[in-house]
Amino acid sequence: MKRQTRTLSLAGALLALPLVVSSCREASQSGRILSVESEGTIAGLVYLDNNGNEVPDAADDPIQGLEVNLFVAGTRSLAASATTDANGIFVLDNVPVGRHRLEADSTFLGDSLAVFAFDDAEVTLRSGDSLVVLMGVTFPSFTLAEARSLPDGTKGFTEGIVLNPGSAFADGSLHLQAGDTYLRVVGTPRTTLFPGDSVRILGRAAQEAGQPVFREGEPFLLAQQVVFVQPLELNTATAATADGGLRDAALVRIRDADIVDTATVTSPTGRDFRMTVDDGSGPLDMILLEAGGFNLSPDSFSIREAVGLLIPSQTAGGMVSWQLTPRSSADLAIDPIPFPGQVIDLTIVQATDTTLTLNWTEVDDGFGNASSYTARFRPTTTLAWTEITSGGCGAPIAGTTIGEVVACTADGLEAETVYFFQVKPFRGTLGEDAQFGPLSNTAGGSTDPSPIPGQVIDLTVVQATSTTLTLNWTEVDDGFGSPSSYSARFRPTTTLVWTEITSGGCGAPIAGTTIGEVLACTADGLEAGTIYFFEVRPFKGTLGVDAQFGPLSNTAGGTTDP
């Protein structure tokens, strides 16, 4: 008899199966009045157990096209054969009574699927019997430890306790634990699973960053929050190697770790941060994910306690290390990093024409030690600040005792110029790990006028010839305690224009020798019988370069001989 079939759900197929058997039985009885029956019927439903619970339910699907063979028990003698229809149903009509063995075609199932019901099972058929059987086909199940050792591409089930919310990672990754074994499941749909849930995962074995994972994982909830998951206690150095790989994908806790570098942005949105932490045992990379809702400034806290999942990363050379990734901000217990105090009494206490001396009261570096300091300045002619990197106020300015007065002298300044100064306390090493406190108050002050050479007041013409006049005067200070140099000028009475003497005995520069001693020079090339006036001017420095002049001397006059 040819049956008309339409596609049913698995539940519909289960309900229809007895009707199919009944119709087959009625068909076999028609036309055999008063005969002795020696045959029976076996009908069955074959389904794919998608969720691995070995019970037909809404998650499962009928299997179409599977050949089911019935052998005489203890032999390879084929008694009957049928192929499942679109609803997974098969019917073996007119089966001789006796003991038989029911088998599914292994070539159809391949390497991945296996029968978990009636595989090599015997059935006994009596005269007139109509047997109904269920045949479940599913993927093999592995412990978590076995799943970590599977060849790549192997598909199957594994079970474990969920360690992270299904929403913790953008790609839906789940971390599972079973005893002291852990496994990462990647590429799963984001779920509403929570830590402590018991799940069964259907996935395919693969490698990622040198470690085993389950890809394309499909989770099936077995029970909600059956345990309170407890992280492993590890130091940062052990966590960085996942304890030699044994704790790959584990949930771990570190304590009392300092951030030892500046955090770097690792996501296109700029809200994922990578930082290195160290509890004294060795460095560990830690990732704060945007999805975790951390919203923290990673350079403003230290880690009192951090719980997170160990996720591997692999270099181009094949080296594997692990990063600690907290699941959310609830996994972090942080302490704000104490900053150095603020200087509030910066003062300018002394000035010269090229220097200003500052002092202030030393402050705490945040950890009970004296701070170091940087200083900056600007003249009133600009709003741009310049860091002082050399001289007495060049950074770093070392502190000594909190509460004591520290001083430094800024040099190389312009005379008679107003400058503003600020200092900033810090701890650590500049350019490496310095942590700064706030800027101080602003202190302002003016440099002194530059001291100039004294004035010659006793210039005298002391000797004459027809072409020369000899001058002398008492040497004066150059403003810095050394003898001045001098320039001299002259004019005849016939003009009001002065001429600088650049050659001869009075040609500039006239070198001084001893302050207070008499210095003389002879001006030559003069006209006979002519009255001339002379003046000298002391200076320090180099003529035409950086010379600073004192005032002109008194005017001395004299007449050359006829």
Tell me: the pLDDT tens digits for 229-259? 999 999 999 999 999 999 999 999 999 998 8
CATH code linked to domain 10-138: 2.60.40.10
From residue 398, give the alpha-carbon distance in Å to each of 364, 388, 402. 12, 14, 12
Please report the sign of the dihedral spanned by the C-alpha atoms of residue 336, residue 340, residue 341, residue 343. Answer: negative
Supply 201's token pair.
């995962």
For 21, phi and psi rounded to 5 degrees? -65, -40
DSSP of 133-182 = EEEEEE--EE-HHHHTTSPTT-EEEEEEEE-S-TTSSTT--EEEEETTEE
CA distance 487 to 507: 7
Give me the helices (H) in 30-170, please: 106-109, 144-147
Rounded Cα gap, residues 444 and 417, in angstroms: 10
What pLDDT was estimated at residue 171?
A: 80
Length of the chain: 562
Residue ranges covered by each domain of the chain:
10-138, 141-223, 232-336, 347-446, 460-559
CA–centroid distance for 94 within its chain: 74
CA–CA dist 537, 164 (Å, integer): 89
| C-alpha to C-alpha distance for 273 and 387, rounded to whole angstroms | 30
Count CA within 13 A, CB hemisphere, residue 320.
Answer: 17
**What is the Cβ-side half-sphere exposure of residue 481, based on CA atoms within 13 angstroms?**
0
pLDDT, tens digit, 9 for 90 and up, residues 121-157: 678 888 878 888 888 888 999 999 999 999 999 999 9
Give the residues of the chain that fall short of pLDDT 50.
Answer: 1-8, 27, 29-36, 119-120, 268
**Gyration radius of the chain's alpha carbons:** 50
- What whole-number distance in Å separates Cα of residue 219 and Cα of residue 483? 96
Q: Which of 256, 250, 251 is nearest to 236 (CA)?
A: 256
Q: What is the DSSP-derived secondary structure letter of residue 34?
A: T
Cβ-proximal residues to 471 (8 Å cutoff; 6+ apart), any chain: 459, 460, 461, 462, 488, 506, 520, 521, 522, 523, 534, 536, 556
CA distances from residue 524 to 125, 258, 305, 494, 560 in whole angstroms, order as listed: 151, 82, 92, 18, 10
Which CATH number is 347-446's, of 3.20.20.60, 2.60.40.10, 3.40.50.460, 3.30.930.10? 2.60.40.10
Q: Could you tell me the CA-to-CA distances from 427 to 185, 322, 335 in Å, in that order?
A: 44, 31, 18
Three-class secondary structure of residue 388 per DSSP? coil
CATH for the stretch 232-336 = 2.40.50.140
State residue 266's pLDDT score. 56
Q: Is the pTM of this model over 0.75?
A: no
* Region label for 282, one of left (φ > 0), alpha (ψ between -120 and 50) or beta (otherwise): left
| pLDDT at site 32 | 45
CA 347 – CA 333 distance, rounded (Å): 41
Instruction: Write down the pLDDT at residue 117.
Output: 66
- For the domain with range 460-559, which CATH number is right: 2.60.40.10, 1.10.3720.10, 2.60.120.1440, 2.30.30.220? 2.60.40.10
CATH-assigned architecture of domain 141-223:
Beta Barrel (2.40)
For the chain, the distance separating the N- and C-terminal CA atoms, rounded to the nearest angstrom, is 162
Q: Where is 533: in which H helix or E strand?
A: strand 531-540
pLDDT, residue 271, reads: 59
- Identify the pLDDT of residue 36: 42
Map residue 545 onto helix, strand or coil. coil
Q: Quote the pLDDT of residue 12.
A: 55
Q: Do domains 232-336 and 347-446 have the same CATH topology?
A: no
- 3-state class of 329 per DSSP? helix
Closest CA to 125 of 41, 200, 240: 41
